[in-house]
Amino acid sequence: MRILSGIQPTGRFHWGNYFGAIRQYIALQTNEQAFYFIADLHALTTVRDPDQLRRNSLDAALDMLALGLDPSQATLFLQSDVPEVAELTWLLMTVTQMHLLEKCHAYKDKRDRGLPADAGLFTYPVLMAADILIYDSQVVPVGQDQVQHIEVTRDIAQRFNNMYQREVFQLPEARVLDSSAKVPGLDGEKMSKSYNNTIELFEEPKKLRKKIMSIKTDSLPVEAPKDPDQCPVFALYALFADEAQRTAMAERYRAGGLGYGEAKQALFEQADAWIGPARARRAELAANEAGVREILAAGAAKARGKAREVLERARSACGLSHG
């Protein structure tokens, strides 16, 4: 079964990215045929600084490898290193109806807020469809808010197949990621770069502790019993702790006598110990950027082999291939 997912290099990964998606991508690489790409073409709709985009893309690769992505099991590559996807995007654009794109979230949200939306944002779902279809992807792990893109991809693929009366494209299925992990940000709201409330995965210890100590909590005194289910510090602690640790911490909350400063210190120690090995691994990888680029190049070569096969099917269906 071929798994496919793309990750945009619009900034450093944070705790919400990892617990909401990345850890599940990495878990799916075992006994699966997984293609994971860094979506630098998609990022062009928001990142306009070329040096920043290059840096973000390399950082994304370093982070994924340090977190456990295994190049011997999963194919990791840059989206822009597979130029076939751009040609397939155009072939798909010729059969995609406008009303389908007008309903898509990113464009619709900007339009409804009176913000300018360029053609890249409007046609973004077609590039996403090309990303998925060009590798004969069977399963695409997504959050609930991204299921629409898989539905659009299926609509486009079916229309292309019907128009040219050939089964050119496989129809992918969405696998909705487990979103049960609660990842509040520094302000208690959902952790998101757009809210400027994130904790990066690879924060250095001093900065990590400072951020954790700034997490917003209520004003209950130390001696007062507290509800762990209503506390963002406990929600974050629970992500890193085992069952026994979570149970013990919850009991201390409910018994009273636990101050938020102590709870934050426990969170820092737990999180820092958890990320320590990955932080060390990332430092090793960063010291050998040439090796990381070789991994990306090898991944792109493998991805291009499959992409050429699928693109040739589409070109032939359209009448663009000879013979």
Residues 208 and 158 in one domain: no
Residues 105 and 227 in one domain: no
Residues 253 and 116 in one domain: no
Annotation marks residue 110 as catalytic: yes
In a domain, 188, yes or no: no
Identify the active-site residue in 110, 182, 216, 302: 110
Q: In whole angstroms, give the CA distance from residue 43 to residue 39.
A: 6
In a domain, 186, yes or no: no
What domain range is 242 assigned to?
193-283
- What single string gives the DSSP state of each residue in 172-232? PEEEE----S--B-TTSSBP-GGGT---BTT--HHHHHHHHHT-------TTS---GGG-H
Q: In a structure prediction context, what are the per-residue pLDDT tens digits for the chain, which is 323 residues long?
A: 899 999 999 999 999 999 989 999 999 997 668 999 999 999 998 899 999 999 999 999 999 999 999 999 999 999 999 999 999 999 999 999 999 998 887 777 777 777 677 899 899 999 999 999 999 999 999 988 889 999 999 999 999 999 999 999 999 999 998 876 789 999 999 999 889 999 999 999 999 999 999 999 999 999 999 999 999 999 999 999 999 999 999 999 999 999 999 999 999 999 999 999 999 999 999 999 999 999 999 999 999 999 999 999 999 999 997 65
Q: In whole angstroms, give the CA distance from residue 237 to residue 223.
A: 20
What integer pLDDT is reported at residue 31 of this predicted model? 61
Q: In whole angstroms, give the CA distance from residue 264 to residue 259.
A: 9
pLDDT tens-digit readout, 158-216 = 999 999 999 999 999 999 988 767 899 999 999 998 899 999 999 999 999 999 999 99
Annotation marks residue 216 as catalytic: no
Residues 67 and 174 in one domain: yes
Q: In whole angstroms, give the CA distance from residue 176 to residue 52.
A: 31
Identify the active-site residue in 108, 182, 193, 306: 193
What spatial distance separates the first Cα and last Cα of the chain, rounded to whole Å?
32
In a domain, 299, yes or no: yes
The alpha helices in 67-165, defined as continuous H runs, are 84-93, 98-102, 105-112, 119-122, 124-133, 147-164
Identify the active-site residue in 108, 182, 190, 211: 190
What integer pLDDT is reported at residue 108 of this predicted model? 77
pLDDT tens-digit readout, 18-38 = 998 999 999 999 766 899 999
Neighbouring-strand partners of residue 264: none
Residues 276 and 294 in one domain: no
CATH of the domain at 172: 3.40.50.620
Q: What is the pTM of this model?
A: 0.92
Annotation marks residue 193 as catalytic: yes
Residues 233 and 140 in one domain: no
Residues 214 and 176 in one domain: no
Residues 158 and 30 in one domain: yes
Q: In whole angstroms, give the CA distance from residue 204 to residue 184.
A: 20
Residues 298 and 277 in one domain: no
In a domain, 212, yes or no: yes
CATH of the domain at 232: 1.10.240.10
Q: In whole angstroms, give the CA distance from residue 310 to residue 307.
A: 5
| Number of domains, the chain | 2
Residues 8 and 88 in one domain: yes
